[in-house]
Homo-oligomer: A and B are copies of this chain.
Amino acid sequence: MISEKMKGLVNNNSVIRQMFEEGKIMAEKYGKENVYDFSLGNPNVPAPEKVRETIAKLLESEDPVIIHGYMNNAGYPEVREKIASSINRRFGTSFDESNIMMTVGAAAGLNCALKAILNPGDEVLTFAPYFVEYKNYVANYDAELRAIEPDTSTFIPDVEALERSITSRTRALIINTPNNPTGVIYSEETIKKIAEVLEKKQKELGTEIFLISDEPYRELVYNGDEVPYVTKYYDHTIVCYSFSKTLSLPGERIGYLVVPTEADPSGELFTAITIANRVIGCVNAPSLFQKVVAECLDEKADIDFYKTNRDILYKGLTEAGFTCIEPQGAFYLFMKSPVPDEKEFVTEAKKEHILIVPGSSFAGPGYVRISYCVARDTIVNSLPGFKRLAERYGLC
Protein backbone atom coordinates (compact mmCIF):
# COMPACT_ATOMS: atom_id res chain seq x y z
CA MET A 1 0.00 0.00 0.00
CA ILE A 2 2.66 2.54 1.03
CA SER A 3 6.10 3.23 -0.39
CA GLU A 4 9.21 1.40 0.82
CA LYS A 5 10.74 4.59 2.19
CA MET A 6 7.63 5.31 4.24
CA LYS A 7 7.46 1.84 5.77
CA GLY A 8 10.43 2.43 8.06
CA LEU A 9 9.07 5.80 9.07
CA VAL A 10 5.64 4.36 9.86
CA ASN A 11 7.15 1.65 12.07
CA ASN A 12 9.35 4.16 13.83
CA ASN A 13 6.44 6.53 14.28
CA SER A 14 4.38 4.07 16.24
CA VAL A 15 6.90 4.18 19.13
CA ILE A 16 6.42 7.93 19.58
CA ARG A 17 2.71 7.60 18.94
CA GLN A 18 2.50 4.95 21.62
CA MET A 19 4.11 7.35 24.09
CA PHE A 20 1.64 10.07 23.14
CA GLU A 21 -1.31 7.70 23.55
CA GLU A 22 0.07 6.45 26.84
CA GLY A 23 0.27 10.04 28.10
CA LYS A 24 -3.36 10.61 27.19
CA ILE A 25 -4.44 7.42 28.96
CA MET A 26 -2.41 8.35 32.05
CA ALA A 27 -3.95 11.84 32.12
CA GLU A 28 -7.44 10.32 32.02
CA LYS A 29 -6.59 7.79 34.71
CA TYR A 30 -4.74 9.99 37.19
CA GLY A 31 -5.96 13.48 36.27
CA LYS A 32 -4.06 15.83 33.96
CA GLU A 33 -2.51 17.73 36.89
CA ASN A 34 -0.97 14.52 38.24
CA VAL A 35 0.85 13.62 35.00
CA TYR A 36 4.13 15.45 34.33
CA ASP A 37 4.52 15.48 30.57
CA PHE A 38 7.99 16.70 29.54
CA SER A 39 7.94 15.03 26.15
CA LEU A 40 7.02 17.83 23.73
CA GLY A 41 8.77 20.99 22.56
CA ASN A 42 5.56 23.00 22.24
CA PRO A 43 5.96 26.58 23.57
CA ASN A 44 3.55 27.20 26.44
CA VAL A 45 3.90 30.97 26.81
CA PRO A 46 1.57 33.05 24.65
CA ALA A 47 2.65 35.03 21.57
CA PRO A 48 3.46 38.68 22.39
CA GLU A 49 0.37 40.91 22.43
CA LYS A 50 1.82 42.79 19.45
CA VAL A 51 1.16 39.74 17.27
CA ARG A 52 -2.58 40.05 17.90
CA GLU A 53 -2.50 43.81 17.43
CA THR A 54 -0.58 43.51 14.15
CA ILE A 55 -3.00 40.95 12.73
CA ALA A 56 -5.94 43.19 13.67
CA LYS A 57 -4.26 46.23 12.12
CA LEU A 58 -3.38 44.41 8.90
CA LEU A 59 -6.93 43.09 8.51
CA GLU A 60 -8.31 46.61 8.95
CA SER A 61 -5.89 48.50 6.76
CA GLU A 62 -4.68 46.20 3.99
CA ASP A 63 -6.27 44.84 0.82
CA PRO A 64 -7.29 41.18 1.43
CA VAL A 65 -6.27 40.34 -2.14
CA ILE A 66 -2.71 41.33 -1.18
CA ILE A 67 -2.41 40.02 2.38
CA HIS A 68 -3.92 36.60 1.54
CA GLY A 69 -2.58 36.46 -2.03
CA TYR A 70 0.28 34.85 -3.89
CA MET A 71 3.55 36.69 -4.03
CA ASN A 72 7.01 35.76 -5.32
CA ASN A 73 7.81 32.23 -4.03
CA ALA A 74 10.59 33.79 -1.94
CA GLY A 75 8.10 35.97 -0.05
CA TYR A 76 7.03 39.62 -0.03
CA PRO A 77 10.07 41.77 -0.96
CA GLU A 78 9.34 44.37 1.76
CA VAL A 79 9.11 41.65 4.43
CA ARG A 80 12.43 40.17 3.33
CA GLU A 81 14.01 43.63 3.32
CA LYS A 82 12.84 44.30 6.89
CA ILE A 83 14.22 40.97 8.07
CA ALA A 84 17.56 41.64 6.33
CA SER A 85 17.76 45.05 8.06
CA SER A 86 16.95 43.53 11.43
CA ILE A 87 19.71 40.91 11.09
CA ASN A 88 22.16 43.57 9.88
CA ARG A 89 21.35 45.83 12.82
CA ARG A 90 21.75 43.07 15.39
CA PHE A 91 24.68 41.12 13.98
CA GLY A 92 26.64 43.55 11.81
CA THR A 93 25.95 41.70 8.57
CA SER A 94 25.04 43.30 5.24
CA PHE A 95 22.11 41.38 3.78
CA ASP A 96 19.28 42.65 1.64
CA GLU A 97 16.05 41.08 0.40
CA SER A 98 17.94 39.04 -2.20
CA ASN A 99 19.51 37.04 0.65
CA ILE A 100 16.26 36.17 2.45
CA MET A 101 13.61 33.59 1.54
CA MET A 102 10.50 33.23 3.70
CA THR A 103 9.76 29.60 4.62
CA VAL A 104 7.07 27.37 6.13
CA GLY A 105 9.07 27.23 9.39
CA ALA A 106 12.66 26.03 9.78
CA ALA A 107 11.68 22.46 8.85
CA ALA A 108 10.65 23.53 5.35
CA GLY A 109 13.66 25.84 5.19
CA LEU A 110 16.00 22.91 5.87
CA ASN A 111 14.23 20.85 3.22
CA CYS A 112 14.53 23.62 0.62
CA ALA A 113 18.24 24.04 1.36
CA LEU A 114 18.93 20.30 1.26
CA LYS A 115 16.91 19.76 -1.91
CA ALA A 116 18.85 22.56 -3.58
CA ILE A 117 22.30 21.12 -2.83
CA LEU A 118 22.13 17.34 -2.32
CA ASN A 119 22.71 14.64 -4.89
CA PRO A 120 21.95 10.99 -4.14
CA GLY A 121 24.80 9.39 -2.22
CA ASP A 122 26.01 12.64 -0.66
CA GLU A 123 26.76 12.73 3.03
CA VAL A 124 25.57 15.29 5.55
CA LEU A 125 27.26 15.49 8.94
CA THR A 126 25.83 16.63 12.26
CA PHE A 127 26.90 16.50 15.89
CA ALA A 128 25.13 13.94 18.09
CA PRO A 129 22.84 14.24 19.91
CA TYR A 130 20.67 15.87 17.24
CA PHE A 131 17.05 16.60 16.28
CA VAL A 132 15.99 13.28 14.79
CA GLU A 133 14.18 14.80 11.80
CA TYR A 134 17.52 15.78 10.22
CA LYS A 135 17.92 12.14 9.27
CA ASN A 136 14.55 12.10 7.51
CA TYR A 137 15.12 15.44 5.78
CA VAL A 138 18.46 14.25 4.39
CA ALA A 139 16.95 10.90 3.34
CA ASN A 140 14.29 12.81 1.34
CA TYR A 141 17.08 13.56 -1.15
CA ASP A 142 18.66 10.09 -1.04
CA ALA A 143 21.65 11.37 0.90
CA GLU A 144 22.90 10.02 4.22
CA LEU A 145 23.14 11.73 7.60
CA ARG A 146 26.22 10.76 9.61
CA ALA A 147 26.51 11.74 13.26
CA ILE A 148 29.72 12.82 14.98
CA GLU A 149 29.90 11.36 18.48
CA PRO A 150 29.78 13.83 21.38
CA ASP A 151 32.13 14.59 24.23
CA THR A 152 29.49 13.88 26.87
CA SER A 153 31.33 15.86 29.55
CA THR A 154 30.39 19.13 27.80
CA PHE A 155 28.38 18.33 24.63
CA ILE A 156 30.49 20.96 22.88
CA PRO A 157 31.20 19.83 19.28
CA ASP A 158 34.28 17.68 18.86
CA VAL A 159 35.96 19.55 16.01
CA GLU A 160 38.76 17.02 15.61
CA ALA A 161 36.19 14.29 15.15
CA LEU A 162 34.52 16.55 12.57
CA GLU A 163 37.78 16.82 10.64
CA ARG A 164 38.21 13.04 10.64
CA SER A 165 34.61 12.55 9.47
CA ILE A 166 34.71 14.73 6.36
CA THR A 167 35.07 12.83 3.08
CA SER A 168 34.84 13.78 -0.58
CA ARG A 169 31.13 12.92 -0.33
CA THR A 170 30.49 15.42 2.52
CA ARG A 171 28.18 18.08 1.17
CA ALA A 172 27.05 19.80 4.37
CA LEU A 173 27.29 20.02 8.13
CA ILE A 174 24.12 20.83 10.07
CA ILE A 175 24.57 22.63 13.37
CA ASN A 176 21.86 23.62 15.85
CA THR A 177 22.71 26.23 18.49
CA PRO A 178 21.23 26.73 21.09
CA ASN A 179 20.97 22.99 20.83
CA ASN A 180 18.04 20.61 20.91
CA PRO A 181 18.33 18.39 23.00
CA THR A 182 21.31 19.57 25.12
CA GLY A 183 20.65 23.31 25.55
CA VAL A 184 24.33 24.00 24.77
CA ILE A 185 25.29 27.20 22.87
CA TYR A 186 28.28 26.94 20.54
CA SER A 187 30.78 29.68 21.42
CA GLU A 188 32.49 31.95 18.90
CA GLU A 189 35.66 29.90 19.45
CA THR A 190 33.83 26.69 18.50
CA ILE A 191 32.25 28.27 15.41
CA LYS A 192 35.66 29.59 14.33
CA LYS A 193 37.21 26.14 14.72
CA ILE A 194 34.40 24.53 12.74
CA ALA A 195 34.83 27.15 10.01
CA GLU A 196 38.59 26.53 9.88
CA VAL A 197 38.13 22.78 9.49
CA LEU A 198 35.54 23.23 6.75
CA GLU A 199 37.74 25.74 4.88
CA LYS A 200 40.73 23.41 5.12
CA LYS A 201 38.77 20.38 3.94
CA GLN A 202 37.17 22.29 1.07
CA LYS A 203 40.64 23.16 -0.24
CA GLU A 204 42.07 19.73 0.42
CA LEU A 205 39.22 17.89 -1.29
CA GLY A 206 38.33 20.48 -3.91
CA THR A 207 34.67 20.39 -2.82
CA GLU A 208 32.10 22.83 -1.51
CA ILE A 209 30.86 22.05 1.99
CA PHE A 210 27.83 23.96 3.27
CA LEU A 211 27.38 24.85 6.91
CA ILE A 212 23.63 24.77 7.57
CA SER A 213 22.75 26.51 10.80
CA ASP A 214 19.35 25.53 12.19
CA GLU A 215 18.41 28.37 14.55
CA PRO A 216 14.87 28.11 15.92
CA TYR A 217 16.20 28.71 19.45
CA ARG A 218 18.45 31.71 18.65
CA GLU A 219 16.53 34.06 20.97
CA LEU A 220 16.06 31.54 23.82
CA VAL A 221 19.23 32.33 25.77
CA TYR A 222 19.38 32.57 29.57
CA ASN A 223 22.82 33.59 30.83
CA GLY A 224 23.46 36.52 28.47
CA ASP A 225 25.58 34.29 26.21
CA GLU A 226 26.13 35.42 22.62
CA VAL A 227 24.97 33.16 19.82
CA PRO A 228 27.49 33.95 17.07
CA TYR A 229 26.00 34.76 13.66
CA VAL A 230 27.53 32.00 11.61
CA THR A 231 27.63 33.71 8.19
CA LYS A 232 30.36 36.00 9.59
CA TYR A 233 32.77 33.09 10.05
CA TYR A 234 32.24 30.91 7.00
CA ASP A 235 31.15 31.82 3.47
CA HIS A 236 29.24 28.68 2.47
CA THR A 237 26.66 29.10 5.21
CA ILE A 238 22.87 28.82 5.01
CA VAL A 239 20.85 29.93 8.06
CA CYS A 240 17.43 28.37 8.77
CA TYR A 241 15.40 30.46 11.18
CA SER A 242 11.93 30.01 12.63
CA PHE A 243 9.66 32.33 14.62
CA SER A 244 8.05 29.27 16.25
CA LYS A 245 9.79 29.66 19.58
CA THR A 246 10.75 33.36 19.66
CA LEU A 247 7.17 34.50 19.02
CA SER A 248 5.40 31.31 20.23
CA LEU A 249 3.92 30.67 16.77
CA PRO A 250 4.91 27.04 16.08
CA GLY A 251 1.60 26.13 14.45
CA GLU A 252 1.73 29.05 12.00
CA ARG A 253 4.76 27.67 10.17
CA ILE A 254 6.70 30.85 9.58
CA GLY A 255 10.44 31.27 9.26
CA TYR A 256 13.13 32.28 6.79
CA LEU A 257 16.33 31.16 5.11
CA VAL A 258 19.42 33.33 4.78
CA VAL A 259 21.65 32.69 1.76
CA PRO A 260 24.63 35.07 1.95
CA THR A 261 25.99 36.48 -1.31
CA GLU A 262 29.38 34.98 -0.40
CA ALA A 263 27.79 31.52 -0.55
CA ASP A 264 26.09 32.27 -3.83
CA PRO A 265 27.79 34.92 -5.98
CA SER A 266 25.73 34.07 -9.08
CA GLY A 267 22.37 33.86 -7.30
CA GLU A 268 21.90 30.35 -8.70
CA LEU A 269 21.60 28.79 -5.24
CA PHE A 270 18.93 31.28 -4.19
CA THR A 271 16.98 30.55 -7.36
CA ALA A 272 17.26 26.81 -6.69
CA ILE A 273 16.11 27.23 -3.09
CA THR A 274 13.16 29.34 -4.21
CA ILE A 275 12.15 26.72 -6.78
CA ALA A 276 12.53 24.02 -4.12
CA ASN A 277 10.06 25.98 -1.96
CA ARG A 278 7.56 25.76 -4.82
CA VAL A 279 8.26 22.20 -5.86
CA ILE A 280 8.20 20.50 -2.44
CA GLY A 281 4.65 21.89 -2.19
CA CYS A 282 5.01 24.82 0.18
CA VAL A 283 4.82 27.34 -2.70
CA ASN A 284 5.36 30.23 -0.27
CA ALA A 285 5.38 30.93 3.47
CA PRO A 286 1.89 31.82 4.80
CA SER A 287 1.19 35.34 3.55
CA LEU A 288 -0.52 37.07 6.50
CA PHE A 289 2.10 35.82 8.96
CA GLN A 290 4.93 37.01 6.71
CA LYS A 291 3.54 40.52 7.22
CA VAL A 292 2.93 39.91 10.93
CA VAL A 293 6.48 38.80 11.76
CA ALA A 294 7.93 41.71 9.77
CA GLU A 295 6.25 44.04 12.30
CA CYS A 296 7.34 41.97 15.32
CA LEU A 297 11.07 41.56 14.71
CA ASP A 298 11.97 43.16 18.04
CA GLU A 299 9.36 41.19 19.98
CA LYS A 300 9.89 38.08 22.07
CA ALA A 301 7.58 35.79 23.97
CA ASP A 302 8.27 35.70 27.74
CA ILE A 303 11.68 34.00 27.68
CA ASP A 304 12.13 34.67 31.40
CA PHE A 305 9.38 32.17 32.11
CA TYR A 306 11.50 29.43 30.54
CA LYS A 307 14.59 30.68 32.41
CA THR A 308 12.82 30.32 35.77
CA ASN A 309 11.58 26.88 34.71
CA ARG A 310 15.14 25.92 33.85
CA ASP A 311 16.49 27.19 37.16
CA ILE A 312 13.92 25.31 39.26
CA LEU A 313 14.31 22.12 37.24
CA TYR A 314 18.11 22.16 37.09
CA LYS A 315 18.40 22.89 40.82
CA GLY A 316 15.85 20.22 41.72
CA LEU A 317 17.44 17.54 39.57
CA THR A 318 21.05 18.17 40.53
CA GLU A 319 20.12 18.41 44.22
CA ALA A 320 18.36 15.08 43.89
CA GLY A 321 21.64 13.65 42.61
CA PHE A 322 21.10 13.56 38.84
CA THR A 323 23.89 14.54 36.45
CA CYS A 324 23.10 17.14 33.81
CA ILE A 325 24.69 20.01 31.91
CA GLU A 326 23.01 23.33 32.79
CA PRO A 327 21.20 24.38 29.61
CA GLN A 328 22.33 27.78 28.30
CA GLY A 329 19.50 28.10 25.84
CA ALA A 330 16.52 26.41 24.11
CA PHE A 331 14.03 24.78 26.50
CA TYR A 332 15.43 21.29 26.90
CA LEU A 333 17.51 19.66 29.61
CA PHE A 334 19.58 16.61 28.68
CA MET A 335 20.02 14.46 31.75
CA LYS A 336 22.22 11.41 32.24
CA SER A 337 20.20 8.29 32.85
CA PRO A 338 21.18 6.56 36.10
CA VAL A 339 21.33 3.27 34.12
CA PRO A 340 23.03 2.70 30.76
CA ASP A 341 19.74 1.72 29.10
CA GLU A 342 17.84 4.98 29.41
CA LYS A 343 14.66 3.34 28.10
CA GLU A 344 14.52 1.39 31.33
CA PHE A 345 14.76 4.69 33.22
CA VAL A 346 12.02 6.22 31.04
CA THR A 347 9.78 3.29 32.02
CA GLU A 348 10.60 3.75 35.71
CA ALA A 349 9.86 7.48 35.45
CA LYS A 350 6.41 6.68 34.06
CA LYS A 351 5.62 5.00 37.37
CA GLU A 352 6.06 8.47 38.90
CA HIS A 353 3.77 9.82 36.14
CA ILE A 354 6.78 11.55 34.58
CA LEU A 355 6.98 11.46 30.78
CA ILE A 356 10.43 12.05 29.28
CA VAL A 357 12.02 11.11 25.95
CA PRO A 358 14.82 8.54 25.63
CA GLY A 359 18.05 10.08 24.37
CA SER A 360 18.25 7.36 21.72
CA SER A 361 15.56 9.32 19.87
CA PHE A 362 18.25 12.01 19.43
CA ALA A 363 21.18 9.63 18.86
CA GLY A 364 22.14 10.25 22.49
CA PRO A 365 21.66 6.93 24.28
CA GLY A 366 22.20 6.88 28.03
CA TYR A 367 20.48 10.25 28.40
CA VAL A 368 16.91 11.55 28.55
CA ARG A 369 15.45 14.79 27.20
CA ILE A 370 13.26 16.86 29.51
CA SER A 371 11.33 19.68 27.77
CA TYR A 372 10.69 22.47 30.25
CA CYS A 373 8.33 24.55 28.10
CA VAL A 374 5.58 23.46 30.51
CA ALA A 375 3.48 24.98 33.29
CA ARG A 376 5.46 25.96 36.39
CA ASP A 377 3.37 23.54 38.48
CA THR A 378 4.35 20.63 36.25
CA ILE A 379 7.99 21.22 37.17
CA VAL A 380 7.48 21.94 40.84
CA ASN A 381 5.11 19.03 41.37
CA SER A 382 7.29 16.56 39.46
CA LEU A 383 10.35 17.11 41.66
CA PRO A 384 9.31 14.77 44.51
CA GLY A 385 8.88 12.03 41.88
CA PHE A 386 12.34 12.75 40.44
CA LYS A 387 13.70 12.64 44.01
CA ARG A 388 12.16 9.21 44.61
CA LEU A 389 13.68 8.01 41.33
CA ALA A 390 17.09 9.29 42.42
CA GLU A 391 16.73 7.43 45.71
CA ARG A 392 15.65 4.27 43.99
CA TYR A 393 18.79 4.40 41.78
CA GLY A 394 21.03 5.20 44.78
CA LEU A 395 22.01 8.67 43.51
CA CYS A 396 21.60 10.26 46.94
Residues of A within 8 A of B (CB): 1-6, 9-10, 13, 40, 42-47, 51-52, 55-56, 59, 63-65, 67-71, 104-105, 107-112, 115-119, 133, 136-137, 140-142, 208, 248-253, 264, 266, 268-269, 271-272, 275-276, 278-289
Contacts and interface: CB of A to CB of B under 8 A. Distances in A.
A2 B45 contact: no
Contact of A42 (B2, B9, B40, B69): B69
9 contacts: A1-B268, A13-B271, A44-B65, A55-B55, A104-B283, A140-B279, A251-B286, A253-B282, A286-B286
Contacts of A268: 1-2, 10
B105 A283 contact: yes
Contacts of A117: 1-3
Q: Which 4 residue pairs are nearest across A and B when measured between Cβ atoms?
A: A251-B287, A111-B281, A108-B281, A46-B64
A111 B46 contact: no
Contacts of A67: 251
A394 to B, nearest CB: 38
Given A3-B116, A108-B283, 14 more contacts: A3-B115, A3-B141, A6-B272, A10-B271, A45-B65, A55-B55, A68-B252, A70-B250, A104-B253, A104-B282, A133-B278, A253-B282, A280-B280, A280-B281
Given A65-B43, A137-B281, A281-B108, A71 B1 contact: no
Contacts of A44: 65
A52 B51 CA distance: 16
A4 B251 contact: no
Nearest to A208: B1
A276 B65 contact: no
Contact of A272 (B2, B63, B285): B2
A252 B59 contact: no
Given A275-B9, A279-B133, A40 B70 contact: yes
Nearest to A275: B9
Contacts of A142: 142
B69 A43 contact: yes
Contacts of A250: 68-70
A275 B13 contact: yes
Nearest to A17: B271
A198 B42 CA distance: 44
A40 B43 CA distance: 39
Contacts of A264: 1
